[in-house]
Each structure stands twice: as structure tokens, then as C-alpha cells.
Amino acid sequence: MEGVGVRLHRRTSPFMLLDAVILAVLLTTHMAIFGLLLSAIASVLSASALLYVVFSAYSFRRMRPGSLSSAMNGFYVLFAMYVAIGIIDLLAAGLIGDVWLFIQAFLVLLLARSCLQRRRALNDPRFRSWWTISTGEDVLGIELSEGEVLATCPSCSSMLAVIPEKLDEGDPCPICGKSLTGR
């Protein structure tokens, strides 16, 4: 998982920043839809949300304490903004009968779905274990006894607390029943 953890960490920040840029472009085209006061309020809220996403991506990239949860929340912010724009586009496409706007709405909603998938990947116990090992931040909420370490089963990738000195060749995984030592 270490290689997978490194790759996921390395790819997350650029995707967050790319999503922020895409949203900024979409928001500039959508702010003129509403009245002046509502557009001003929406602009301030959107700019604040985008700054939060950029800050989260930067903190996550630097592996600062608390940045994993901040990045996960950043993906929720991106998701909410994509859904809002997608629904507005769907309604506008239905009202004016524009096929291209309908296609854009569909693509924006797919981007919203991808934000949830990326958040789910960050919440994976294997990635959280890698994050704990790499940063020292306890994000797993698992109390380990003296001498225990977290390990994954080579067969089913289940997270297990094991004492390496007491692990014998052929010890079975409690989940899948296959060998924990890979032999």
C-alpha cells in the first residue's frame, strides 16, 4: 500500500486544484444569472469556498497535521458546488431547451461524483494507515497495545493489529483464512 498511498497523495492535490479552476470558470459564467445582490453574495461565498479548497490542497500536499480531514472536507465542498451548478444547468437546459447545456450539466454532475470517489479513496483504511505512518498523525482512531503494529493481509487487504514477534509462518487471517505471511 505504500506505493499506492504515495501515488494517491501525489495525485490528490493537483486534482483538487484543477477542480477549483474548473469551478472558478463555471462560476464566472453563472454569476450573471441572478440579480445583483444575490450574485454578490454567491460570489463571496463561492470565492471563500474555492479559497478553502486551495488551502486544503496546499496543506494536504505538505502533509500538515489535520490536512487529511481538511482535504476530505474540501472534496465535500467541491461536490456541493458541482451539484449546485449541475442542477442550475439542468433546470436552465429544461427551460430553454438547450441540448449543449444539458450535456454540460451532465458532465458537471459527473465531476461531482468523481469528488465523492476521491474522498472515499482518502477515507480508505489502507490510505489512512499510510497517512498515520507517514505523518505520525493518528487518523485511524485505533488504540494499539505495546508492540502492536498495523498490517494488511496480503490476500484480502484487511487492516489487522499484529505483534510481529509473535507472528508465525502460516498464521491465518481472521477475515479470509489465508496466510498472513504470504507463504
- The pLDDT score that the predictor gives to residue 141 is 62
What is the structure's pLDDT at 73? 95
pLDDT, one tens digit per residue, over 28-76 is: 887 767 667 777 888 888 899 999 999 999 999 998 888 999 999 999 9
* Residue 1: pLDDT band with limits 50, 70, 90: very low
Residue 30 has what pLDDT? 77
Q: In sequence order, which residues have a C-beta less than 8 Å from that of residue 182 and are 6 or more positions away? A: 154
Distance CA 27, CA 86 (A): 11
Instruction: List the grid coordinates of 140.
Output: 485511524
* Torsion angle, alpha carbons of 165, 166, 169, 175, to 10: -120
- pLDDT on residue 168: 81
The better pLDDT of the pair 27, 181 is held by 27
Which residues share a beta bridge with 56? none
Tell me, what's the pLDDT at 18? Answer: 95
For a pLDDT cut of 90, what percent of the chain falls above it? 43
Contact 144, 38 (CB under 8 A): no
Instruction: For residues 170 and 37, give the distance between their C-alpha atoms in angstroms, rounded to a whole number.
Output: 69
Three cell numbers, residue 59: 496543506
- From the centroid of its chain, how far is CA 180? 30
